[in-house]
Chain A
Amino acid sequence: MTDGGTTEERSTLRRWLDSDIVQSSPFWLPPFLLMGFFVYAAIGWNLLLSLTEYSGFGDPDYSNLGLHNYRAMLDDPGMWAATRNTFVLLVGFTVVCLIVGLLLALLLDREIRFSRSFRTIYLLPFALSFIVTAQFWRWMYNVNNGIVNQFIGLFGIGPYNWLGSPKLVLGSVIFALVWQFSGYTMIIYLAALRSIPNDQYEAARVDGASTVRMYWRVIVPQLRPAMVSATVTLVLFALKAFDFLYATFDGYRPRRGADILATKMVRESFGRSEWAYGSSIALMLFVLSLGVIAPYLYNQYKRGNL
């Protein structure tokens, strides 16, 4: 009876070792640790850095933490411009992409549904790398001999400095990105369209709906889940449009009017060695991304899809 306590301890240990969470740990623990260290710890460290005054060479000083970087942001006109541009790019690019992709998908779906032939040509731009598209659009937008100016020149318009003028540059960038991404949006919509049975189209027609009304009232509303997931992807791409701008402008110094948070973040950190300030911009970007993805995840969670 004297070693009863030991027995109890041993059985508690035994039970703990036998529990599902311990038994399954070889499967979840390694990815958990890797993700935790390289993603979440990095985010945490970034937050910490953004509270310091770390700049130039040397080591960060963690003894004097404060929100001065965030305060500095409020007084930085470049920051406001970058935030505004980011939002314009985000909204403009996403909305136009969704509309163009939807129209393409509807047209293509009719083609497949009613005559059974398929074209992948619309998806091709999406398969190209950002670097290729950027170079390609630099030629297209060339002030002197770009196709765009040549073309509108036929109607006596232009030429315009598409990538040079602060008023035009953001629109030009959005247009190029839409060209590249609407194919992707189309594929998402097309997959959703394919899952709508023919009966739905026929029922709507027998109910007396015209083609436009049929799509507007019966088919397009059923594409809502596809639209939500396409939107999330597009917004995340827009937030990260950095590589496209980098390739278009040969570095992270885009023309005035096309600076976004991502380019500014890299410029502050790696161009000017303002590490702490760059970190605080990174955190802003992170919060923005979270703002997009969190409602989506919550929605998915509520519908039991997670």
Chain B
Amino acid sequence: MAETQLDDVRKVFTEDDGNEIVAVNDVSIDIEDGEFLVLVGPSGCGKSTTLRMIAGLESITDGEIRLDDRVINDLPAKERNIAMVFQSYALYPHMTVRENMAFGLEESTDLSDDEIATRVEETAEMMGIDPLLDRKPEELSGGQQQRVALGRAIVREPAVFLMDEPLSNLDAKLRAQMRTELQQLQEQLETTTVYVTHDQTEAMTMGDRIAILNDGELQQVGTPLECYHEPANAFVADFIGEPAMNFFDVTRRNADGDGAVLVGETLEYAVSNDITTAIGDRNELVLGVRPEDIDIQHSDGNPRRADGHTVPATVTVVEPTGDENIVYLDLGEDGSETAIVTIDGMSRIEAGDSVVAHIPEDAIHVFDGKTNEALHNRRVESSEPRAPNI
């Protein structure tokens, strides 16, 4: 149990030819005691490097990492009281499960052999791996190995758990199951956990908070719903959510009365005053809207009143997933822009249909076209269930 603080942590790798690569760029995160923090981002964003710096496997170029107010920058891994679960599990192949689990306690504590044996057996029982204790890793299935790797970390009773994509080698079903189990385990143990993944579903479902990294820079730290509904920038908006948010490059045109019109290739979208205030005098903008926030309606049905929030579209592909359909649209008359919409799984809509897409104003996000920074986010309180889309 410990509070962990990353303070302007920086990692620079120097290549053989003297080139410097900034892998982690002044990242600051305060991880509370007992918190489950997920570090998420695309490959090469520096999330694993950050984790490895906390573990002591990678030196810290600049900045400080503190564990309960103690700077651990130069402490060897042994003295950090941290346990790590590796993506490959990294079980020692020549040792039995029991020996694998005891190894960390033997190396990092002064416990007697009896105490170690007791703790290993207790943890194994809790994890349900006690029948496997005398087997070697090669005799275990992937799921069992994963469990042993977790057990090996838990038995140490560390201050912080570090997990580097621990579920990525499991099949989809087992992964979903382990996701829940890991969360329950973490709640039960109340141990601070830093979890690295590139899978935004894992990040959304598991984390108390998630920290999104891109190109070594921290984009946003927040609860999953904050990051989903109030992304700090277009990157976060794009990364969190599946299917991803729709983006349209637009410019601003002042309307006759109040508000303004955001003009894109196929879109002419009227926005009200509070949004124009948020936009200020910026002209290059990006309009974003989540797939589930767009309504579509057959164009031959009851025509929706033209409120400046609709655009004609053609359905190109429909992917049914059961509970919902993912619909791909070509927008405008010439279909030069595309959008993805998710609608109820029972709706009848087919490829080739002509539809009208309605983008409600309270669901839109507006980003600065140059800095990608969020200027306006959707209103969260208005997200009560709406009428079926069609």
Mark A residues whose CB is within 8 Å of B. Answer: 116, 197, 199-200, 202-210, 213, 217-218, 221-222, 224
Contact = CB atoms under 8 A, between A and B. Distances in A.
Interface string B147-188: 000001000100000100000000000000000000000000
Contact of A203 (B16, B52, B76, B84): B84
B57 A206 contact: yes
Given A116-B16, A213-B107, A217-B103, A206 B88 contact: no
Contacts of B86: 199, 202-203
A208 B78 contact: yes
A221 B57 contact: no
Contact of B93 (A204, A205, A222): A222
B222 interface: no
A218 B156 CA distance: 18
Contacts of B91: 203
A147 to B, nearest CB: 38
Nearest to A222: B94
B56 A206 contact: yes
Contacts of A206: 55-57, 77, 82-84, 104, 162
Contact of A208 (B88, B93, B104, B162): B104
Contacts of A116: 16
B108 interface: yes
Q: Is the interface of A mostly helix, strand, loop or mixed?
A: helix
Contacts of A213: 107
B82 A207 contact: no
Contact of A218 (B88, B92, B152): B92
Interface in B68-110: 76-78, 82-84, 86, 88, 90-94, 103-104, 107-109
Nearest to B92: A218
28 contacts: A199-B88, A199-B90, A202-B86, A202-B90, A203-B86, A203-B90, A203-B91, A204-B107, A205-B78, A206-B55, A206-B56, A206-B77, A206-B82, A206-B83, A206-B84, A207-B83, A207-B103, A207-B108, A207-B156, A208-B77, A208-B107, A208-B108, A209-B103, A210-B78, A210-B107, A217-B103, A221-B94, A222-B92
Interface of B: 16, 52, 55-57, 76-78, 82-84, 86, 88, 90-94, 103-104, 107-109, 152, 156, 162
Nearest to A202: B57
Contacts of B57: 202, 205-206
Nearest to B109: A208
Contacts of B82: 206
Contacts of B109: 208
Given A116-B16, A213-B107, A217-B103, A205 B77 contact: yes
Q: Which one of A200, A203, A205, A222 has the greatest number of beta carbons of chain B within 10 Å?
A: A203
A207 B94 contact: no
A302 B286 CA distance: 66
B196 to A, nearest CB: 14
Given A202-B57, A221-B94, A224-B94, A207 B104 contact: yes
B163 to A, nearest CB: 12
Contacts of B55: 202, 206
A207 B82 CA distance: 8
A197 B107 CA distance: 21
A204 B76 CA distance: 12
A209 B94 CA distance: 16
B90 A200 contact: yes
A217 B92 CA distance: 10
Contacts of B107: 204, 207-210, 213, 217
Contacts of A205: 56-57, 76-78
A225 B86 CA distance: 25
B151 to A, nearest CB: 13
Q: Which one of B16, B56, B104 has the greatest number of beta carbons of chain A within 10 Å?
A: B104
A131 to B, nearest CB: 41
Q: Which one of A116, A200, A207, A222 has the greatest number of beta carbons of chain B within 10 Å?
A: A207
Contacts of A203: 84, 86, 90-92
B328 to A, nearest CB: 41
